[in-house]
A and B are shown apart, each in its own frame.
Chain A
Amino acid sequence: MSEQKAGTEIPVGPQHPSLKEPANFTLNVDGEVITGAEMKLSYNHRGIEQAVLGNSYIENIYLLERICGICSHAHTSAFTQGVEELLDLDVPPRARYIRTLIGELERIHSHMLWLGVAGHEIGFDTLWQYAWRDREIVMDLLEEITGNRVHYSINTIGGVREDLTDDQRETILAGMDDLQERIDFYQETVPNEQTVRMRCENVGVVPKDLAREYCAVGAVGRASGVPTDVRKDAPYAAYDDVDFDVITDDRGDLLARTVVRIGEIAQAIRIIRQVAERIPEGDLKASAKPPQALLAQVPEDDAVSRYEAPRGELIHYIRSDGTDTPARVHIRVPTLANWPTVVESLKGSYIADTPIVVAGIDPCISCTSRIGVETDGSHGGENAFDLDELREYGIDWYDERGNVERPSTAGEGRTATDGTEGERP
């Protein structure tokens, strides 16, 4: 589609008010209709996968929690579950229930956040303010249980670090009653509000076969009628002990995604109530030994850990080499799986729909940046560079495009040995 250069080319991003994080969409538009869309990612590569290799498993829990401020518990859970698989540890039931509890609270706060953002993207700021106010119920609960609003730091290898008191269970149940009232209100009003329907119905449609072909995950897949949910498909934590439904919809448009997400909040409330009422007594950790002692026994092996993050299936791949630091950790965040559906559904829609179509998958853009450059050259392959080759490639790139201004020639002086600072004319 991109060869159709008729009409205007609009750059959306990397800096744009509708994007909270950097990504770039180049839209070819004819009037108000988008005829072609291209996407560039990875403006915010943080090198986390490399950083993981320099830390022990215990330190990495801290590091991986900071991949994302929204699904921080998802990352630590996926990672610790992987390491527990390597160590062959049995997590006690009470710890598994607490993990489920935090995970579901996190799902509620993530979906409420999304509901607000979606409202803002379609110019419905009142919905945004309401959703974020009601999200505070969950944020307060999380703070009361774990001590933190964002990075809960509750997971450790073999269990959890904080217990749940009886007072806290009461508070949770009371909070869920308040929240249930609000969610009933949203379930009733949001999908029936006329202007919301006008903006969301038949917008950004992802048909079922496209969702399957592009392996859409999470609410995006479920709203297109693909009942994918790791909590049901491969239960972890306490999900095989609790009752809940996988919410699906077959319309595949933004209204369906909204309905699915609000429905999932209602299901999360259901799970949290069961957890708070039925949590078994018992230990919090699989072993009384200090974690360092456990990690001294990590065998040489690898493990794939799957977790249903609020945005969809999150995958952590961990390879160990017998030491207390991992040999390789790879993270596939759900947003990466959903990007192709965005580019497809942008084509043919209106410019006005861009923000909500992009926001419709609940993207976590910086978490997606996983593209790195090999620096030691030892891995070979056509696309591998060592540092000198990379520099040469950069020079060639600018030479080929004579009209492109070089970022700064002063950079050579900074890296080369024969130049010192302050000599510039």
Chain B
Amino acid sequence: MSLELDLATGLLYLLVFPGFAFLFAYGLTAEFLDRKLYARLQNRVGPPPLQPLADFLKLLSKESVVPDNATARIYNAAPLTGLAGVFTAMLYIPVWTEQAAFAFEGDLVVVLFLLSLPSFSLFFGGWYSGNVFSRIGTTRTITQLFGYEIPFFLAAFAPAVAAGSLSTSEITAFIGANPWYVLVLLPAFAIALLSLQAKLERIPFDIPEAETELATGTLVEYSGRKLALFRLTKDVELVVGAALLSALFLGGPYPAGSIEGFAGVAAGVVVFLVKTLAVIALLTVLKAVVARLRIEQMVSVFYRVLVPVALSQIAVVLLVGLYTEGLIP
């Protein structure tokens, strides 16, 4: 009996909430809000609410061409791997309580790995699509990956060091119990924001797709269904990345996490939405106020500035941990 119940709730998590259906809807909504805010910042009107869905459906109905020069199997598989990666990652991130749908000690590493998958799927898809623009785009994707992954990992490990755990759920619970840690972790949060922006390949780090230079680079040969999946991956990655940042640095559902019953779930979801949307809004504003960097400038900023800051952040967290020993229950 309990096995069947577990299976049922597992499927519910996987397919409805916070899995496929929720992520699909929230991803498209987030894209709309991102585009709308970006447009308003630029003094434009912006798209209507259902525009991302309309774009997605339109792309689904279009012909999906495989170029002669492409290695068809890899070219076709690439869009799916990235999407699968980000969907899976969400299951280990707390949403409405401090406990994620699935959790085990060390799941933070899994989440970080799964969030790297879209970049690799872009790389394989672009490299094997046999186009010179894609090839340059993929070289940039990988160069950029080396640039942002290390600061991103270091930033994510700062709260893990504070909580003494590599489980996303436990970190969230720890920050929820000691909310002033949000202030201690502010530099790590900023680094994680910038790295997430680079991961999502948005301005100022949209170097791999750079429309005016490479004609969308990696994705130049993709069309129809496969392009739709890549774009959905970006939307979902935005939401999952924001959820991860909210869980690691902003205490996830705190202060709604302690409320019992249905009201607690509802309040938790509201807090989740507010915090993730705030993260997305920060990313959008960043996108609106700067120009695109060159690839070597991006790597230099991340290695010369962000890595040292992230390392000293971990040192600060350790010191704070030492000096407040006994103060924390």
Contacts and interface: CB of A to CB of B under 8 A. Distances in A.
B135 interface: yes
B213 A195 contact: no
A123 B42 contact: no
B289 A126 contact: yes
A15 to B, nearest CB: 9
B237 interface: no
B292 to A, nearest CB: 3
Given A8-B132, A123-B212, A196 B44 contact: no
Given A8-B136, A17-B212, A350-B294, A130 B204 contact: no
Interface stretch (A47-55, A80-88, A114-122, A326-334): A114-122
Contacts of A416: none
A386 interface: no
B215 A17 contact: yes
Interface in B211-233: 211-215
Contact of A121 (B136, B204, B212, B293): B212
Contact of A119 (B41, B139, B215, B291): B291
A32 B211 CA distance: 16
Given A32-B296, A351-B136, A130 B207 contact: no
Contacts of B294: 32, 198-199, 350, 352-353
Interface in A250-281: none
A10 to B, nearest CB: 6
A198 B297 contact: yes
For the side of the interface on B, what is the size category?
20 to 34
B43 interface: yes
Given A8-B132, A352-B207, A124 B44 contact: no
Contact of A124 (B41, B214, B292, B296): B292
A196 B291 contact: yes
A204 interface: no
A10 B137 CA distance: 12
Contacts of B133: 10
A196 B292 CA distance: 8
B101 interface: no
Nearest to B140: A32
A40 interface: no
A122 B215 contact: no
Contact of A123 (B43, B210, B297): B210
Contacts of A129: 42-44
Interface in B180-211: 203-204, 206-207, 210-211
Contacts of B136: 8, 10, 29, 32, 351
B309 interface: no
Contacts of A8: 132, 135-136
Interface string A1-44: 00000001111000011100000000001011000000000000
Contact of A195 (B44, B135, B293): B293
A412 interface: no
Most buried by B among A129, A198, A352: A352
B230 to A, nearest CB: 18
Contacts of B43: 129-130, 133
Interface string A285-309: 0000000000000000000000000
The A interface is mostly helix, strand or loop, or mixed, namely helix
Contacts of A163: none
Contacts of A11: 132
A355 interface: yes
Nearest to A128: B42
Contacts of A198: 291, 293-294, 297
A125 interface: yes
Interface residues of A, number: 34
A125 B215 CA distance: 16
Given A8-B132, A18-B212, A18-B213, A32 B295 contact: yes
Contacts of B291: 119, 122-124, 127, 193, 195-196, 198-199
A195 B290 contact: yes
B288 interface: yes
Interface string B120-139: 00000000000011011001
B83 to A, nearest CB: 26
A372 B297 CA distance: 45
Interface string B279-300: 0000000001111111111000
Contacts of A341: none
Contacts of B41: 126
Most buried by A among B41, B42, B136, B290: B290
A148 to B, nearest CB: 25
A127 B43 CA distance: 11
B137 to A, nearest CB: 11
A100 interface: no
A194 B43 CA distance: 22
Nearest to B290: A195
B179 to A, nearest CB: 33
A10 B132 contact: yes
Interface string B260-293: 0000000000000000000000000000111111
A264 B156 CA distance: 49
A257 to B, nearest CB: 15
Contacts of B288: 125-126
Contacts of B213: 18, 351-352, 354-355
B123 to A, nearest CB: 17
Interface of A: 8-11, 16-18, 29, 31-32, 119-127, 129-130, 133, 193-196, 198-199, 350-355
Given A18-B213, A352-B213, 19 more contacts: A8-B136, A17-B211, A29-B136, A32-B136, A32-B294, A32-B296, A119-B291, A120-B212, A123-B203, A123-B291, A124-B291, A125-B42, A125-B288, A126-B288, A133-B43, A193-B291, A195-B292, A199-B294, A351-B213
Minimum-distance CB pairs A-B, first 9:
A123-B292, A124-B291, A129-B42, A195-B291, A18-B212, A195-B290, A355-B212, A122-B291, A352-B294
